[in-house]
Structure 1
Amino acid sequence: MAQDDEITISPTGWVADQARIYEESGGTKGATVQGAPCLLLDYKGRRSGQWRRTVLIYGTDGEDYLVVASNGGADEHPLWYRNLESEPETRLRVGPERFEARAETLSAEEKARVWPSLVELFAPYAAYQKKTERDIPVVRLIRQKA
């Protein structure tokens, strides 16, 4: 993704507001959601090819970032996840850092290992999983070497 590519921010009001604050402050403001750390995820639309941005809570596993495709416990995957399935190359802002990353969905075994720490980070994840029959995916975001 080129630095000058146009990015469409999530249409969800609070997400759009937070994404703007986070980006405009260079990552010094808007970096938490309900006390949990968050990042900006830029991803490519699978049909439009347009770059989009959302705000996601994240955990870590070693040097990798973990995000949960909870969609608030809805029965459908969030759009950002469906887009990452089609195009795993992405760009992140984590605090003041911006970098390229590659997304991969964790296996059931990997998810079982990290899920308790993600629920500890953001307790509503446990309720979201109970709310839906869908297995909520966890995505690993791997920093790409420059």
Structure 2
Amino acid sequence: MDEEIYDSTTGWVADHIRTYLETDGEKGHMYQGWPTLLLTTRGRKSGRLRRTALIYGQDADRYLLVASNGGSAAHPAWYLNVMADQDVTLQVKADKFAARARTATAEEKPALWAAMTSIFPLYDSYQAKADREIPLVIMERV
């Protein structure tokens, strides 16, 4: 039996996930003009599978995510989960696959950050207002 996956409890995110799943990303992959994927992590406290939708970029065959949390002082829960367990599942359109996550190094981040801000320029303003270094996460298919 498949383990239950708990979707984001934020209403508009849950609606986005549902649309993405119902259409295999045909509707939902592009969200307000931005490419999105579904990320499933294991909750670091609950142990439950947690799914959210995120804007992503690509660097060759790697997927890039920014743990911005809108520039708030705290890392998003998905990032904390990824740091506790780097094994995740991604869905990009209809393609569902296992991936391993890691935070970009200081050397890697500038070029990858530029790639992500070319997709979603607000990341720069989020970083400017955040009292933390916003992590950029690299996801590699396993």
Aligned length: 142
Conserved? CA contact 1:32–1:57, under 8 Å: no
Per-residue CA deviations over 1:105-135 (Å, capped at 9, x if unaligned) read 0011111121111111001101100011210
The 5 A counterparts of 1:105-144 are 105-144=103-142
Q: For the residues of structure 1 that align with 2:123 and 2:31, how far apart are their CA atoms?
A: 13
Question: Aligned residue for 2:31?
Answer: 33
Q: For the residues of structure 2 that align with 1:52 and 1:34, how far apart are their CA atoms?
A: 23
Superposed CA RMSD in Å reads 1.0
What SS is found at the alignment partner of 1:109?
coil
What SS is found at the alignment partner of 1:115?
helix
One-letter identity of the residue aligned with 1:100: A
Question: Aligned residue for 1:22?
Answer: 20
Q: For the residues of structure 2 that align with 1:60 and 1:25, how far apart are their CA atoms?
A: 22
Identity of aligned residues (%): 49
Per-residue CA deviations over 1:75-131 (Å, capped at 9, x if unaligned) read 100000000000010001001100000000001111112111111100110110001
One-letter identity of the residue aligned with 2:141: R
Q: For the residues of structure 2 that align with 1:36 and 1:24, how far apart are their CA atoms?
A: 19
Unaligned runs of 5+ in 2: none
Moved more, 75-84 or 114-123: 114-123
Report the Cα offset of residue 74 of structure 1: 0.2
Conserved? CA contact 1:65–1:140, under 8 Å: yes
Q: For the residues of structure 2 that align with 1:13 and 1:108, how far apart are their CA atoms?
A: 35
The runs of at least 4 aligned residues of structure 1 exceeding 3 Å deviation read: none
Report the Cα offset of residue 33 of structure 1: 2.6
Q: TM-score, normalised by structure 2?
A: 0.97
Q: TM-score, normalised by structure 1?
A: 0.94
Report the Cα offset of residue 62 of structure 1: 1.0
Q: For the residues of structure 2 that align with 1:112 and 1:50, how far apart are their CA atoms?
A: 33
Unaligned runs of 5+ in 1: none
